[in-house]
Chain A
Amino acid sequence: MSIDAVLREPAHQVSPRAVGYWRLGAGLLLAFWIVLALVWVVALPHPWWSVLIVVLVLGAATAYVVVMPALRFRIHRWEVTPLAVFTRSGWLSREQRIAPLNRVQTVDAHQGALMRLFRLSTITVTTASAAGPIRIDCLDEDVAARVVAELTEITAAAEGDAT
């Protein structure tokens, strides 16, 4: 077994518009909490130090909105070869997944309402293992359509029942 084996980066980045999408999603959540906190501070009785906690939590959430999307954009990468799918995701923690295409069972593309706004699409590739689905988050929708077509073609050619 050779030591010093290092996984290289997957070849492609996700769509740059993903940064905006992630920021908007996190921002909407943050806005919701800010409104809730304001209502609580203004309308309900509370000890003075609880305001400090609320401010700290909201500060951390704001930092999340500012820092997370850019970091995530740098980590999220993907690659499809004729033999395998390879992805990397996460921002603080990190996850790399590899699945051979001859074991792939389904290929789905999914587009939420917010994602449609940014013309993004997420691809999910499942294998016969419940622990094995691979997600490629936030691809440009045209790229996603092309990748799905490509994957479907390759996996349709594979034989056996993929277990």
Chain B
Amino acid sequence: MTQAAPDEEGWQKLDVRMLLLDPVKTLAQFFIPLLIGLIGLRNTGTWPLWALPLAILAPITLGSLPWLTTRYRITTTQFQMRTGLLNKKQLTAPLDRIRSVDLEATVLHRLLGLSKVEIGTGVDDTRITLDSLSVPQADELRGVLLARRAAATTPVEARPATGQPAPERAPEPVEVLARIDWSWLRFAPFSLSRLAVVAGAIGVLSQFGDDLPFLNRDNLEHTWEWVAHFALALVVVVAVVVGLVIWVLISVTGYVVQWWNFLLVRERGHVRLTAGLLTTRSTTVEDARIRGVALSEPVLLRLVGGGELATLATGVGEGGVTTVLPPCPVEVATGVGHTILAEDGALSADLVAHGPIARRRCHVRMQWPTLVLTVAAVAAVVAFSIPVWVPVLVAFGVGALGVGSAEAEYAHLGHGLTARYLVAGSGAWERRRTALEREGVIGWVVQQSFFQRRRGLSTLVATTAAGAEKVVVSDLALDRAIALADATTPGLVAPFLTRTPNGPAAGAGPFGSSSAVGQG
């Protein structure tokens, strides 16, 4: 291997092949300014010949700097990295604070046998990046860091640390949680997360639309008349079919590129995901940092029985939500979720419903758009010459949609409590279920809006450091919300409870506690 031996203090360099990658990248960044400079100089006619090698050498030197100046080493307690030529900087991370080690390799990296290493270090979201090491070196670094991290939390053996293979890496059973099943490709067209990218591309293209010579108003009107006259239905059908075919192609290609060789394993107390056709990535999260999982079934995926799974972890950065499965059958997502949670039932058991008052609130909330749009339509009838049936159609159409959404929302709404997890169900069009470890709850918020108070309902928020940092249980009767909080974290809420609703504490006037209970 081209890996340089560490020096006497244990400092190691990045892989020497970075000298092929970084200068090229820098040269590419300098390319446009260089070109402009060259052309500009050429025009003035005083183009000095000696400037050309300089203009090329400068980016190459600049690009070599990271390799020349970056050093890293692992001591018994810390990971250390030095960078900088003039402004020397040393980054240190205690080994017991290292939460995740991710490897990523673009196509260029892979051609050269390199891999970028990103090390996540706990509460703050800064990550240490080593760009790049050779693949074996990166694998070894990950193994050493994660093994040392485990060792650092237990008594440390006093041993000089270099980058040599650590003897404590005894082969342990690797548990495969999931691997790619290409029959899952059928879910690709039903997952709309890629649609945003396509929409963005269309948006960019439409910017140029104005500049196209044939797209002027006359031409458009002329074309439209022609279309309307001859074959409107045919054109619409063809457009829809072409659009669908393009979408299927894009989504399937995207799925293959993103999830090629997908493998999710659990080894040595870590969950590791590897995937990617062109850019390969490998994400490793410590098991103890995973505080729960979130199962989501967007409406289209649900139609074909598919779902997505993400883990909620602390100290991973980027919101702590890591998608660990591609769109796949919901049974698979549930099964993998249960394996990660080490408990059955949290994602599949029936939830406790929130009752008829919560259902009514769902309906009221969903009918606001109906009211607003109908009023707007009536106003349009008064102001412009629009047929009277339009507002009627709007009222019934949007109203029916609202009724459907509200019923769906109520059906998904619910909560549950298992031996180790607090479970919350939510979503109208997308069914979401979140299981959060009860140990991971670090506070409670009981919210009551003015309208919720009149109905005796409340919104219970469990705050946490993992994932989206909160789990919300909506429209639950106040007393049941407090009972749920009390049952989830025994001892935390109990000192603030009173069991006598008519006691002195509850009689604080019209806005005191007593007004809200008794109706739920």
Contact = CB atoms under 8 A, between A and B. Distances in A.
A150 interface: no
Interface string B469-492: 110000000111011111101011
B453 interface: yes
Contact of B123 (A71, A81, A163): A163
Contacts of B485: 98
Contact of A132 (B443, B491, B493, B509): B443
Contact of A98 (B449, B492, B501, B506): B492
Contact of A3 (B122, B446, B479): B479
Given A6-B517, A84-B495, A93 B469 contact: no
Contacts of A127: 442-443, 463, 465
Given A74-B509, A131-B445, A163-B465, A86 B496 contact: yes
Nearest to B482: A5
A83 B492 contact: yes
Contacts of B498: 6-8
A81 B450 CA distance: 29
A21 to B, nearest CB: 20
Given A4-B499, A99-B442, A131 B463 contact: yes
Chain A, interface size: which category?
35 or more
A4 B479 contact: yes
B315 interface: yes
A162 B464 CA distance: 10
Given A7-B513, A129-B442, A163-B314, A95 B508 contact: no
A115 interface: no
B41 to A, nearest CB: 53
Interface in A101-122: 103
Interface residues of B, number: 52
A8 B465 CA distance: 27
Interface in B425-453: 440, 442-450, 452-453
A100 interface: yes
A81, A129, A162 interface centre (most CB from chain B within 10 Å):
A129
A94 B122 contact: no
Interface in B381-425: 417
A3 B443 contact: no
A103 B497 contact: no
Contact of A95 (B448, B478, B482, B489): B448
Contacts of A99: 442-444, 463
B445 A95 contact: yes
B511 A98 contact: no
Contacts of A91: 511
Contact of A128 (B314, B417, B513): B314
A1 B487 contact: yes
B461 interface: yes
Nearest to B493: A98
A145 B503 CA distance: 32
B496 A7 contact: yes
A161 B123 contact: yes
A84 B495 CA distance: 9
Contacts of B470: 129-132
Contact of B482 (A7, A130, A132): A7
Contact of A6 (B447, B461, B506): B506
B505 interface: yes
Given A9-B513, A129-B469, A103 B443 contact: yes
A137 to B, nearest CB: 16
A132 B462 CA distance: 9
Contacts of A5: 479, 482-483, 486, 497, 499
B448 A94 contact: yes
Nearest to B506: A6
Contacts of B506: 6, 8
A71 B314 CA distance: 39
B497 A131 contact: no
Interface in A1-45: 1-10
Interface string A57-97: 00000000000000100110001010110100011111111
B422 to A, nearest CB: 12
B61 to A, nearest CB: 42
A144 interface: no
A134 interface: yes
Interface in A124-163: 127-132, 134, 161-163
Interface of B: 122-123, 314-315, 417, 440, 442-450, 452-453, 461, 463-466, 469-470, 478-480, 482-487, 489, 491-493, 495-499, 501, 503, 505-506, 508-509, 511-513, 517
Given A6-B497, A98-B496, A129-B469, 19 more contacts: A1-B486, A5-B482, A6-B479, A6-B499, A7-B482, A7-B513, A8-B503, A8-B513, A9-B505, A83-B492, A90-B448, A93-B447, A95-B447, A96-B444, A97-B445, A97-B446, A129-B464, A129-B470, A132-B463
14 contacts: A1-B486, A3-B480, A4-B517, A5-B497, A6-B498, A84-B496, A86-B496, A94-B511, A98-B485, A98-B493, A128-B123, A129-B469, A130-B470, A134-B443
